[in-house]
Amino acid sequence: MSQCRLCKKQVKLEESHIIPKFIGKWLRKTSATGYLRSIDNPNIRRQDLFKVKLLCKSCEDLFSDTESYFAETIFHPYVNRENFSYNLSYNHNLSKFFASLSWRVLVYLTEFLNNETSPEIEKCKSKLEDFLLGIGNTSNLDQYEQHLIPLESGSQSLLNTKHSNINSYFCRAIDTDLLNSKSGSLIYIKIPNFMIISNINYKYINKMRSSRVALKHGVLAPKEYILPIEMQHYLDNRLTFIKENITNVISETQNDKILSTIKNDLDRFENSHTLKIVEADLYPNQFIFRDKGKPL
């Protein structure tokens, strides 16, 4: 018996995914090989995303409900849309989902990976816990608002001109971090096709109003999004780090395994989301969609 990290009850703990399991399933299904590889250790292929003993069954079920809502209402409709327009309505379950995701990532980074914490970070954890459990004033998240930015392969940004791996990172990678600067702290979460930013005490958060997730109901649609300058610098450095320390150093043995898997199922490779994204990185100035009316 151990203590559930959310409800604090002494119970048998479940193995909990920090990043929802359905995202790993989607990555495998749409990949060229049917396997996963992490940014942290690309030389090991996996069939599931990382798990830790974190929650009791009741709390795990609580998170599962909002994960399903995000998958069915936002994630799959967005990645499967037939054109570049989208208008996805959502309700209070979306803010619950992102609060749960931000809380999990924050707990994992500070308590499992021992990232530096602070009184402000601990206050954020506590507020997110109360919000998820329905304790106290749950009508708002105070300063700890959640932000969602949809990512599109081939979109124009300053990063495109500097990094040849930007589409692969935006549309296929999973990444998490705790960003601390003189302007405050943010929780950063990158899942395929989406960036989630959770505020802790970033003092310019009001400039990001367009990406804020509404607590009760809202609409996800194309619009102009503003990233903090610290986030732009972070992404610039992160993309460089990934290329120099991960993409370019995968072992010869693992490269051979990847090529062998692809050769054994060329149809899968040719129809994979992986190939389309690699093409977008290799030929950024060409309109390379198989169906010219359909996004990657």
Q: How confident is the model at residue 165 (pLDDT cuts 50, 70, 90)?
A: confident
Least confident of 39-53, 61-75, 207-221: 39-53
Kindly report the number of other CB atoms within 10 A of residue 245's CB atom. 11
Q: Kind and range of the H or E element at 189?
A: strand 184-191
Question: Taking a C-beta distance cutoff of 8 angstroms, is the pair 110, 208 a contact?
Answer: no
Q: How confident is the model at residue 163 (pLDDT cuts 50, 70, 90)?
A: low
The predicted-structure confidence for 118-151, as pLDDT tens digits, reads as follows 999 999 999 999 999 999 877 789 999 999 999 8
Domain assignments of the chain as residue spans, ordered by start: 57-221+260-282
Least confident of 94-103, 160-169, 228-237: 160-169
Length of the chain, in residues = 296
Beta bridge partners of 197: 147, 188
Beta bridge partners of 177: 188
What's phi and psi for 181, nearest 5 deg? -145, 180
CA–CA distances in Å: residue 93 to residues 18, 90, 96, 99, 128: 18, 8, 5, 10, 14
Residues 6+ apart with CB under 8 A from 177: 109, 188, 234
Q: Which residue has the higher pLDDT, 36 or 105?
A: 105
Nearest to 4 by CA among 56, 53, 51, 52: 56
Classify 112 as helix, strand or coil: helix
Strand 175-181 to 146-150 pairing: unpaired
Q: How high is the mean pLDDT of the chain?
A: 83
Q: What is the radius of gyration, based on Cα positions, of the chain?
A: 19
Q: Which residue has the higher pLDDT, 293 or 247?
A: 247
CA–CA distances in Å: residue 26 to residues 23, 29, 41, 79, 274: 5, 5, 20, 10, 12
* CA 100 centroid distance within chain: 13
Q: Which residue has the higher pLDDT, 283 or 92?
A: 92
> Is residue 89 over pLDDT 70?
yes
Task: Give CA–CA dist 171/166, Å, rounded.
Answer: 8
pLDDT value of residue 39: 65
Q: Please state the pTM of the whole predicted model.
A: 0.86
pLDDT value of residue 49: 84
Q: Kindly give the interhelix angle for 57-70 and 92-107, rounded to the nearest 10 degrees.
A: 120
Task: Give CA–CA dist 286/207, Å, rounded.
Answer: 33
The predicted-structure confidence for 234-265, as pLDDT tens digits, reads as follows 888 888 887 776 666 666 666 666 667 666 66
